[in-house]
Amino acid sequence: MGGREHFLDPSKIHQKWDNTLPPAISIDPGDIIHCETREVLNGQITPGCDASVLLNIDRNNTYPLAGPIEVRGAKPGDVLQVDILDMHPMGWGWTGIVPGFGLLPDGFPYPYIKHWDLSNGKTAELKPGIVIPLDPFCGVMGVAPKEKGEFRIRPPDSFGGNMDIRHLNKGNTVLLPVQVEGAGFSAGDCHSAQGDGEVCGTGIESPMRFTLRLTVIRGLQLDEPRFICNSPINRNVDTKGYYCTTGIGPDLYTNARKAIRYMIEYLVDQYGLTKEEAYILCSVTVDLKVSEIVNAPNWVVSAYLPLSIFTKS
């Protein structure tokens, strides 16, 4: 059957993985579902609020996910194909530095927040002359895990979840291994922009409306998620080249930290940003890449800064 459209009530959310949760809605394979979710802290952050709010986060009131969505007939051993049809930020967003969180917690022991105006639906301005193209996606897409019990949303796993893959955006496709009858698909934690790595711990966290098509592929055994990009992955920024820093050594995590520290230093020195603004900018637009992992004992991590975000010479 399939092909029908459904609108999921925005109040139908959950905030833990649990395969015993009743479905918020049941659909047929091939149906389209329209969803709406709040930003990752479920309304604890409001436009213009002070950074001190980040010191008192209720961690039991985070990650409001649309779902679970039952896809009739899906069963373990199948794959749920999620086609991302549309993503619409709802006017505003935020990026924050939370003490003790992110890639460089030792360098930023205090809260900081940037509120973004997303009202034009296309770009967000860090400050005059630095403009970030929006490329919204769901940070969380997953099916219900096979294990019994309640699990936090934050760590991803074989069922998907909080993968924060910024290329899971409009026009692309996610393949998730079904682990329970009906799949129990959920999505949320939407970002309007993010660099690969999300280094300060947050992208542009945004309330979002999004539209997905859910299809079942029978008998395709996958151990972990896969995804298909149907267009160039950096289409919004890949126009003026990149400035790149590297971290080199025997540990990829340490190398990533070095590459981002060097990029922060560059942004402060060359563009007059505060180090907090530079860290935020790295989180929402700089891409971390493993450039080399075969020349033991040292590996290379590179940080790519797109120069197209700078609108002034």
pLDDT in tens, 100-125: 999 999 999 999 999 999 999 999 99
What is the pLDDT at residue 219?
Answer: 85
Same fold, 5-228 and 242-309: no
What is the pLDDT at residue 183?
Answer: 98
Residue 313: pLDDT band by 50, 70, 90 thresholds? Answer: low
- Helix/strand/coil (H/E/C) assignment for every residue in the chain: CCCCEEECCCCCEECCECCCCCCCEEECCCCEEEEEECCCCCCCCCCCCCHHHHHHCCCCCCCCEEEEEEECCCCECEEEEEEEEEEEECCEEEEEECCCCCCCHHHCCCCEEEEEECCCCCEEEEECCEEEECCCEEEEEECCCCCCCCECCCCCECCEEECCCCCCECCCEEEEECCCCCCCEEEEEEECCCCCCCCCCCCCECCEEEEEEEEEECCCCCCCCEEECCCCCCCCCCCCCEEEEEEEECCHHHHHHHHHHHHHHHHHHHHCCCHHHHHHHHHHHCEEEEEECCCCCCEEEEEEEEHHHECCC
| Bridge partner list, 299 | 249
pLDDT tens digits along 17-46: 999 999 999 999 999 999 999 999 999 999
Average pLDDT taken over every residue of the chain:
96
Residue 287 has pLDDT above 70, yes or no: yes
pLDDT tens digits along 165-194: 999 999 999 999 999 999 999 999 999 999
Residue 234: pLDDT band by 50, 70, 90 thresholds? Answer: confident
pLDDT tens digits along 35-75: 999 999 999 999 999 999 999 999 999 999 999 999 999 99
Residue 1: pLDDT band by 50, 70, 90 thresholds? Answer: low
Q: Which CATH superfamily is domain 242-309 in?
A: Acetamidase/Formamidase-like domains (3.10.28.20)
User: Structural domain boundaries of the chain?
Assistant: 5-228, 242-309
Q: Are 87 and 137 in contact (CB under 8 A)?
A: yes
Structure tokens given for 180: 């329970």
What is the pLDDT at residue 2?
Answer: 67
Domain 5-228, CATH class in plain words: mainly beta
Residue 205 has pLDDT above 60, yes or no: yes
Residue 265 has pLDDT above 60, yes or no: yes
